[in-house]
Each structure stands twice: as C-alpha cells, then as structure tokens.
C-alpha cells in the first residue's frame, strides 16, 4: 500500500513538473503600443519591454497601428520618444531598453515607425546574454553610448544604437544618427 502511494505521488510530481515546464514555454504576450511617451505603462514602449522581461518567453510588441482606411495615401508616422534618462540601469527603468530574457520581437505597424533616443544620454537597446531581440520595420535614432572618463579624454562605450551580447535579428530597419566612442577629443572641446 505504501509503495503504491509513493508511486502515485511520484507520478503526480512528474506530471506537475511537465505542466510547469510546458507553461513556461507557452508564455507569450502581444502588446500593441500606441502611447509614444516614455512611461512605465504597458501601453508604452518602455512599459511593454519591462513587462515582457518580467514574464519571459516569446513576446511581441507592435508599435503603432496600420492606417484604418485603405484609401490613405500616407501611413501615419509614429515616433516613440525615449526620455527617461539614466545610464547603467539594467532593468529598463531608465536609459536604454534592456532585453534581459526571453525572445522579444518589436514590429513597426507601418513603414514610418521611429524609436528616438535623442537627449536620452544612452543607447536605445541593450540585449543581454541568453536574450533575443528581433526588430522589424523600425528606424532607430538618437542613441548615444554612455562614456567612461579616462584622464582628459572621454572614450564612449560601443553600441550607440544597440549593444548586443545575446541574439539580434533585424529586418527592414534603419539605424541612423546614433553615436558611440569619442575618439581623442579633449573634454573641453565637446
């Protein structure tokens, strides 16, 4: 009797472990982001990234909406501004958008979707080891890699738009007007 009870609880434990594993693989959320301001709401880009990092798995963020009428001659432009300053945060709460785990896909709903980090003082994305970021149909601009000061020379870090330690896939994207490194320009000359 005792052996059959142990066998039953062992089987139950195995079934529960399999279910937990399957549920962790099935985690997926789709966020449609139309709030172009830099907030912690999941309806903004920063908020959706923070939420996707929290749940892990395969998540998708759709930036903007496609035009409602087929007769529109010009699709609406969407500019998502990153304005919450503060470099060296690894949780997306300030500065760049950190992709810390899972597989995140960010898709522009039209061809006129821009992620603008002008004035942020940080790059746009940082992809961590064991994380995957897929970008489709977006323009990334205004990113600036944070710098380190060595004597009278400021040498910026690599990756003005994106620094990648994981996996990065880009389709139909434009990377423009981002900067990294400062070369040998004395601090007083910038």
Asked if residue 19 is part of any domain, the answer here is no
Q: What size, in residues, is the chain?
A: 190
Asked if residue 3 is part of any domain, the answer here is no
Chain mean pLDDT for the chain: 81
Does 68 or 128 have the greater pLDDT score?
Answer: 128
Q: Which of 37-41, 126-130, 181-185 has the lowest mean pLDDT?
A: 181-185
pLDDT of 117-145, one tens digit each? 998 988 999 999 999 999 999 999 999 88
Does 161 or 4 have the greater pLDDT score?
Answer: 161
Instruction: State how far the Cα of 121 lies from the Cα of 96, in Å rounded to an integer.
Output: 9
Asked if residue 122 is part of any domain, the answer here is yes
Contact 141, 178 (CB under 8 A): yes
What's the number of domains the chain is made of?
Answer: 1
Asked if residue 12 is part of any domain, the answer here is no
SS3 139: strand
Mean per-residue pLDDT, 169-190:
72
Asked if residue 108 is part of any domain, the answer here is yes
Asked if residue 41 is part of any domain, the answer here is yes
Q: Which of 13-22, 126-135, 150-159, 181-190 has the lowest mean pLDDT?
A: 181-190
pLDDT of 88-108, one tens digit each? 677 788 889 999 999 999 999
Q: What are the distances in angstroms from CA 156 to CA 103, 122, 145, 148?
A: 28, 10, 6, 6
- Confidence category of residue 10, pLDDT binned at 50, 70, 90: low
Asked if residue 146 is part of any domain, the answer here is yes
Q: What is the pLDDT of residue 86?
A: 80
Instruction: State how far the Cα of 169 lies from the Cα of 89, in Å rounded to an integer.
Output: 23
Instruction: State how far the Cα of 60 lies from the Cα of 57, in Å rounded to an integer.
Output: 10
- Confidence category of residue 187, pLDDT binned at 50, 70, 90: very low
Asked if residue 18 is part of any domain, the answer here is no
Prediction pTM value: 0.75
- Confidence category of residue 1, pLDDT binned at 50, 70, 90: low
Per the structure, the complete domain to which residue 105 belongs is given by 28-67+75-189
């Amino acid at each position: 009797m005792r052996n059959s009870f142990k066998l039953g609880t062992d089987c139950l434990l195995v079934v529960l472990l399999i279910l937990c594993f399957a549920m962790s693989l099935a985690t997926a959320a789709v966020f449609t982001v139309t709030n172009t301001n830099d907030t912690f709401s999941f309806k903004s880009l920063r908020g959706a990234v923070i939420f996707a990092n929290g749940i892990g798995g395969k998540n998708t963020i759709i930036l903007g909406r496609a035009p409602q009428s087929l007769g529109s001659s010009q699709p609406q432009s969407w500019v998502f501004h990153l304005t919450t300053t503060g470099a060296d945060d690894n949780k997306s709460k300030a500065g760049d958008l950190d992709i810390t785990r899972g597989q995140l896909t960010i898709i522009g709903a039209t061809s006129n979707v821009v992620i603008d980090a002008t004035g942020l003082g940080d790059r746009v994305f940082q992809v961590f080891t064991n994380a995957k970021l897929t970008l489709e149909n977006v323009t990334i601009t205004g990113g600036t890699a944070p710098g380190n000061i060595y004597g009278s020379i400021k040498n910026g870090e690599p990756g003005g738009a994106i620094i990648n330690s994981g996996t990065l896939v880009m389709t139909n994207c434009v990377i423009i007007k981002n900067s990294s490194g400062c070369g040998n320009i004395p601090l007083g000359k910038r």
